[in-house]
Amino acid sequence: MRLLHILRTVEGIELGGQPDFEITKLTADSRSVQAGALFVALRGSDSDGHDYLADAERRGAVAAVGEKADPGLDIPYFWVPDSRLAWAQIASAWHDHPSRKLVLIGVTGTDGKTTTASLIYQILRTAGCAAGLLTTLNVVIGTQTLDTGLHVTTPDALEVQGYLAQMVAEGITHCVLEATSHGLAQQRVGACEFDVAAVTNITHEHLDYHGSYEAYRQAKSRLFTQGLQDAKKSFGPEKTAVLNRDDSAYDFLREVTQARCLTYGFRENADVYAKDIECRSGKLHFTACGADFELKIESELIGRYNVPNCLAALTVAVEALGIKPAVAAEGLAQLQRVPGRMQRIDLGQLFDAIVDFAHTPNALRKALETAREITQGRVIAVFGSAGLRDREKRRMMAEVSAELADLTIMTAEDPRTESLDGILAEMAQGARAKGGVEGETFWRQPDRGEALRFAVREARPGDMVIACGKGHEQSMCFGDVEYPWDDRTAMQAALAELLGLDGPAMPYLPTSEA
């Protein structure tokens, strides 16, 4: 592709007088530069791509883009005000702007993003739409399901645009894309032209990266400002923001977006609201009400906290996209449980065992409230808090569990280069602040496998053991090493050992040797 064709849609760039020639590759990593490449310098938390401009030139880059003043290269260099946004726009041009050829629905929020995106996708499929899905769990393109990585966030901008281009090539007409706060702040979806943007909630999370709740909320809001700023597509719906009427960020998001706003919630002041909510027979039942419909909803999802996720999906489908309410209700009913979200592990034991992704204070509260609601016996919680991430969560999550669980086992969850003992000490302090007694109501067990073994040994008939924080993830980070780890496999291993059954081996972690 020709250089100036790639660059002409980049905001703030000056192209006058620059030569034009063929580009063979795009990269933001100087180590992968090859002859004919265009190199884009990105500033990161640990390194700055501008420090590698000369290296990229030596390796064969024929042009470069960055925020730094003229670095004195012997190849054309293009200054831009925001190289991350430029990278997204360049990636979009490289793939011939695929989001312009799709009805693109974005979903953001602290908790429930993947579930809500999956619900919307299922409704679209039920309605007969050729739909694709791009979440932190996986990418679904036609009959293909692709993994998006070990630790989940929105993929890099070049990957995002590549996935969207594959969808266009496969004849996909609608795509549901999950947008994380990191993905929005780092412009990984910066060149995506959304038609509908939905939010689940905005609660305490990622303050280690964003610095404050206000900055975190501001990052989320990009989906509703930048994401919906382009003109309406000829084949698409009116640009629409779907907001949670009950969330604390509602007023802020309503004020900053210029798009049409639709709302959902638990009260009648929302465009779509719920009533008569019940959890029975392992399913969720409620009535969804809109201006022109009243629907009985049945969902395989567990817990009252999934009602807003269902309502968000209904609002997107019915009110924003014009899908018939009955078809949307059928789509909600057809979605089976999302992997790693309140997922039951049953080897015939006399108590419930569940694995869930809850890794924020709000999500943990909702998971434990649900566990309490559907369990006759005690709730035994196993979870940790990640290293090099928001430290305040450690105390908050321990406090939540001390309030809502009968027994709490605090353990490893991606300690990275931090002291695991130090993390657990902070969590123990939070548990004690809410009346927890170490050795009676809560324990510290650094090895996650041993923590699960301890939890299932403590369980009595009718109890529930719930392991939170890892869900579907496939690894755990100690130091700089990712060790293979799946909570679902580990729970099966602990149960098989307890019951004397054949089962998977407990995955290895460095703490296993302690």
Q: How does pLDDT run across 38-80, given as a tens digit for each residue?
A: 999 999 877 899 999 999 999 999 999 999 988 999 999 999 9
Distance CA 412, CA 381 (A): 13
Q: At what angle do helices 487-499 and 448-458 cross, to 10 degrees?
A: 50
- Identify which of 362, 113, 105 has the alpha carbon closest to the alpha carbon of residue 213: 362
For the record, the structure tokens of 70 come out as: 């003229």
CB hemisphere CA count around 494 (13 angstroms): 28
pLDDT in tens, 441-478: 999 999 999 999 999 999 999 999 999 999 989 999 99
Q: CB within 8 A of 513, min separation 6: which ones?
A: none
CATH superfamily of domain region 3-93: MurE/MurF, N-terminal domain (3.40.1390.10)
Burial tier of 46 (Cβ tally within 10 Å: 0-12, 13-18, 19+) = exposed
CATH class of 343-509: alpha beta
- Identify which of 134, 35, 49, 33 has the alpha carbon closest to the alpha carbon of residue 86: 49
- pLDDT confidence of residue 152: 58
Are 446 and 421 a contacting pair, CB within 8 Å? yes
Say whether pLDDT at 30 is over 60. yes
Distance CA 222, CA 256 (A): 9
Token pair 């009805």 is found at 103
Token pair 């880059």 is found at 61
The torsion angles phi and psi of 17, rounded to 5 degrees, stand at 80, 0
Domain boundaries along the sequence of the chain: 3-93, 97-334, 343-509
- Identify which of 302, 416, 299 has the alpha carbon closest to the alpha carbon of residue 352: 302
Beta partners for residue 105, in sequence order: 176, 196
Better-predicted residue by pLDDT, 209 or 100:
100
> Can you spell out the DSSP letters for 309-360?
HHHHHHIIIIIIT---HHHHHHHHHH--PPTTSSEE--SS-SSEEEEE---S
- pLDDT confidence of residue 209: 60
Distance CA 238, CA 313 (A): 17
What is the pTM (predicted TM-score) of this model? 0.86
In percent, how much of the chain has pLDDT > 70? Answer: 97
pLDDT in tens, 424-436: 999 999 999 999 9
Q: What is the mean pLDDT of residues 279-284?
A: 82
> Can you spell out the DSSP letters for 32-80?
G--TTEEEE--B-SS-BGGGGHHHHHHTT-SEEEESSS----SS-EEE-
- pLDDT confidence of residue 149: 58
Q: At what angle do helices 420-433 and 392-404 cross, to 10 degrees?
A: 50
Q: What is the mean pLDDT of the chain?
A: 93
Distance CA 225, CA 290 (A): 26
Q: At what angle do helices 113-126 and 325-334 cross, to 10 degrees?
A: 120
343-509 shares the fold of 97-334: no
What is the CATH number that goes with domain 97-334?
Answer: 3.40.1190.10
Say whether pLDDT at 352 is over 90. yes
Say whether pLDDT at 279 is over 90. no
For the record, the structure tokens of 41 come out as: 């310098």
Burial tier of 500 (Cβ tally within 10 Å: 0-12, 13-18, 19+) = exposed
Distance CA 397, CA 407 (A): 14
Task: Tell me the residue type at 3.
Answer: L
- pLDDT confidence of residue 208: 55
